[in-house]
Amino acid sequence: MSGPPSTYDALVVGGGHNGLCLAAYLARAGWSVGLLERRHEEGGGLNTEEPSIPGFYHNLHAQFMEFLDYMPFYQDFDLERMGSRSVYPEAQCGITFADGRAPLIIHRPDLLDRTHKSIARYSKADADTFCELKRKTMEIDQFLAASLYNPPPVAEQGKLPNPLANPMIEPMFAHLGLDPTYTLKSPKVIIDELFETPELRMLLYRECVEWGTPVEMEMGGTAFVMSVLWLSAIWKLMIGGTHTLAHAMTQACLREGVTFLESAEVTKIVLSDSRAVGAETADGRTFQARHVVASSVDVRQTLLDLVGAENLSELWRKRTERFRYGPSHVLATTTWCLTEAPHYRSAEVDPEIDRCFYTVVGFEDPDQMMDYIRAAYGDHVPERPGAGMWVNSLFDPSQAPAGMHVATGWFFFPTADRLDERGWEEVRRTYNDRFLELWTQSAPNINSSTVLANRLYTPDQMDSKNRMRFGDFSNGAFAVDQLNSSRPFPEAAQYRTEIEGLYLCGASSHPGGGIHAGPGYNAYKAIAADHGLAELWEANGRIY
């Protein structure tokens, strides 16, 4: 039986957004590219399904898009023409309370006056501080983006990477007017020092972890700027769900001539003379790579499962084995089919909370929020099931049947291995109901009469669905020793591996998880440099 070609210039393992991004650039540079995807759908975490009732669409992984305006893949391949569309909600992220207290709502950066007004209900000083920091951060957003869309700094020969040696840090803190000692502190300490309002602190803790950054991670000053100041409240909603972005990316790849090999689970990266030359799939097919095999799956699967520990040096084997997953970004997705959108008690004070893109529900004070985060990070399913919720149908009617609504949210949970199968089953059976109790307290109209169906996807299922190991959305813990020039580990931080021809292009590499396609883009830069491919970057007026 004839089929697609078996030999390509490059094989890309994994059809998530990073694999798609790298494949598109390689193909545009003139290479033949075979993209191998284990699942029946492309997109990885760009996954939208109808898990309960047909017509109610839920994003099961990625929820919001903060990088559409920065993502080179998005611009260079005109993904909007390929069918991607987004909405930029005005009220971006908020927190609501069961006692009907004023909500806190952070609006889009172009609507800072509204943000100011919301925070000023609690503290004018906090409102001034936050809005000024946000404004100044957005002035340098291109430079912040450049730090994602470039390989991390190369450590001096023979020396360990120094996370504080990044030349960008000092001018950045100077521009923002932030104390340089913040570089050493954790986001939580910085938040507590900068802001006095407990309600704002809670919201910002949550914003910080939302992006995978542990709020108590020391030497977290840069991470604070990135996750709390820059990447919050610039979220876009994908019309039709995040999978439509995967669709657009796939159409872009097809137009460049990428060959899609789907339902193709790679079980082995084939080596010849210590060089990566191909891939074998579970169903017995083999594919050859003339120049490059690039893997967008996480580093442990890539090097230990697909290449094999026996083919690694002692150092690389140890480093890979010691690469850690979670608990910083281990999530469960809770999905709800509703007959009406939530109407919060806090809307009595500020009705905008009912039209807020992302709303934190179920936390009444900072201790509850910190208990929650610490429980999840500390191997426990949090006792109090608060969540951050998106009601996408408020902005995009296509995600629910006419007149109905969908709500999707995230719970932070321990890594998948902390509970056995029965344990997670129990969580799936009971946790949504427990959350509903809290949700009803904040939004009395959300109750058994307005909930048509609900379903919970737990970290073990994230693992089995997308092979995001341990349910870690970032494919590797966010920690000082696993970031930037040390991600996944210092020797592998430039997307190259010790196996000639084998590259890393997934979220285990800098800049990590999130729908920015940074690892795929940066891996292209590395491959282009090694193989003399066209410099397809810094196009369209970008500095990266």
Partner 1 sequence: MSGDVSTAVRPTDAADGEDGRLSFDAVIIGAGHNGLTLGAYLARSGLSVGVFERRGEEGGGLCTEELTLPGFLHNVHANYHTFVGLAPAFRHLELTEEGLEYVRPEVQMASVFDDGQALCVHTDAERTHASIARISERDADTFRRLQAEARRYVDLMLETFMYGPPVGINDLTKALVTFGLDKRSEFLEAKLRGSTIAQFLDRHFESDAVKAHLAFHAAICGYATDAKGLAIGFPLLVGKIDNWQLCLGGSHRLAHTLWRDLVRHGGLVHVQCDVARILVADGRAVGIELTDGREVQARQLVASSIDVEQTVGRLLAEDPSTAALRAKRSELRHPAWSLFSVHLALSEAPHYAAAAFDPDVDRAWVMNLGYSRVGDLIADWKAAREGRLPDPHPNAAVNSLFDTRDAPPGKFTGLLRQIVPAKPQNGSIESWDEVKDEYATRCIETWQRFAPNIQDAVIASAIDTPADIERKLTNMRDGDWMVGEIALDNLLDKRPLPELANYRTPVERLYMCGSTQHPHGFITFAPGYNALQVIAQDLDLEPWWRWV
Binding site for partner 1 (CB under 8 A): 1-4, 28-29, 40-41, 48-50, 53-55, 57, 76-78, 81-83, 239-241, 243-244, 247, 250-251, 254-255, 257, 259-263, 265, 282-283, 397-398, 401, 457, 461, 464-465, 534-540
Closer CB to partner 1, 207 or 472, in the complex: 472
Q: How far is the CB of 439 from partner 1 (least distance, A)?
A: 23
Closer CB to partner 1, 29 or 226, in the complex: 29
CA–CA dist 445, 220 (Å, integer): 40
Q: What is the DSSP string of 64-107?
A: -BS-TTT-HHHHHTTTTTTT--EE--SEEEEE--TT-PPPEEEE
Q: How far is the CB of 409 from partner 1 (least distance, A)?
A: 19
Q: How far is the CB of 240 from partner 1 (least distance, A)?
A: 3
Closer CB to partner 1, 107 or 243, in the complex: 243
End-to-end CA distance of the chain: 45
How many Cα atoms sit within 13 Å of 305 on the Cβ side? 16
Q: How far is the CB of 398 from partner 1 (least distance, A)?
A: 5
Closer CB to partner 1, 116 or 467, in the complex: 467
Closer CB to partner 1, 3 or 158, in the complex: 3
The encoded tokens of residue 474 equal 């970032």
The contacts of residue 383 (CB under 8 Å, 6+ apart) are 371, 375
* Nearest alpha-carbon partner for 525 in 510, 541, 508, 540: 510
Closer CB to partner 1, 55 or 198, in the complex: 55
Closer CB to partner 1, 167 or 541, in the complex: 541
Q: How far is the CB of 437 from partner 1 (least distance, A)?
A: 25
What is the SS3 assignment for 351? helix
CA–CA dist 199, 222 (Å, integer): 23
CA–CA dist 171, 178 (Å, integer): 10
Are 108 and 234 within 8 A, CB to CB?
Answer: yes
Q: How far is the CB of 541 from partner 1 (least distance, A)?
A: 10
55 phi, psi to nearest 5 deg: 100, -15
Q: How far is the CB of 289 from partner 1 (least distance, A)?
A: 18
Q: CB atoms < 10 A from the CB of 400, how many?
A: 24
Between helix 198-210 and helix 366-377 the angle, nearest 10°, is 20
Closer CB to partner 1, 205 or 457, in the complex: 457
Closer CB to partner 1, 101 or 531, in the complex: 531
- Across the chain, how many H-helices and E-strands are there? 16, 18
Q: How far is the CB of 6 from partner 1 (least distance, A)?
A: 11
98 phi, psi to nearest 5 deg: -70, -25
CA–CA dist 243, 413 (Å, integer): 24
Q: How far is the CB of 226 from partner 1 (least distance, A)?
A: 25
Q: How far is the CB of 322 from partner 1 (least distance, A)?
A: 28
CA–CA dist 456, 84 (Å, integer): 27
Instruction: Classify the phi-psi angles of 408: left when phi > 0, otherwise alpha if psi is within -120 to 50, otherwise beta.
Output: beta
As beta bridge partners, residue 406 has: 337
Closer CB to partner 1, 12 or 502, in the complex: 12
CA–CA dist 149, 158 (Å, integer): 25
Closer CB to partner 1, 36 or 276, in the complex: 36
Q: How far is the CB of 224 from partner 1 (least distance, A)?
A: 31
Q: What is the DSSP string of 284-314?
A: S-EEEEEEEEEE-S-HHIIIIIIIIGGGS-H
